[in-house]
Amino acid sequence: MRTLSLGLVLFAFWLALSGHYTPFLISVGGVCVVFCLWIAQRMQVLDPEGHPIGMLPGTLTYYPWLAFEILKSSLAVAKIILAPSLPISPTMTTVTARQKTPVGIATFGNSITLTPSTLTTGISGNEITIHALTREAANDVQSARMNSRVTQFEGRT
């Protein structure tokens, strides 16, 4: 089942990038897809972690929310950079990720890093060490708003 969905995704990717629809090129694409599926099977990465297709519906609501967060904190960072006095107050802190699966924790860490003004420097178990550009940004991550949002996103799989 998961093999089939990965195959479909890979074939759609081939069609999107190729742009030439002659029988020869499409059959070459099919051969490539089968080869990739064979390698994936051999590497045993065809599990919910390697191909999390079940998370796709959740991304439709999660990524717009994340984009809005990125916009907000980007404006804050731009304001800091352009201010002549450079009003930064770097803070390092730890947060406990509430997600259960490694995929969820990795999503949380990557979301933290993707937001300007906070970045993940280390993960051990579910303790995430973060570096924040200002105290307010550190407070924001610790306030568990993003944490619970990612948990909700993860729980939908």
Partner 1 sequence: MTLELLIQSASWVLLVVGSVFVVIGAVGLLRMPDIYTRLHAASLIETLGAGCLLLGLMLQAGATLVTLKLVAIFLLFLFTAPVATHAVAQAALHQDIQPRLAEDRRTQVDAPPEREGA
Binding site for partner 1 (CB under 8 A): 13, 16-17, 19, 67, 70-71, 74, 77-78, 81-82, 86, 88-94, 102-103, 105-106, 109-110, 113-117, 119-124, 129, 131, 133, 135, 138
**Shortest distance, CB of residue 103 to partner 1, whole angstroms?**
8
**Shortest distance, CB of residue 102 to partner 1, whole angstroms?**
7
- Measured in residues, the chain has a length of 157
**Shortest distance, CB of residue 61 to partner 1, whole angstroms?**
16
Structure tokens at 45: 């990465």
Q: For partner 1, give the closer residue by CB, 5 or 93.
A: 93
**Shortest distance, CB of residue 1 to partner 1, whole angstroms?**
24
Phi and psi angles of residue 95, each rounded to the nearest 5 degrees, phi first: -125, 150
Work out the angle at residue 10's Cα, subtended by the Cα atoms of residues 7 and 15, and round it to the nearest 5 degrees.
125
Question: Running DSSP on this structure, what letter comes out for residue 55?
Answer: G
The Cα–Cα gap between 116 and 138 comes to 12
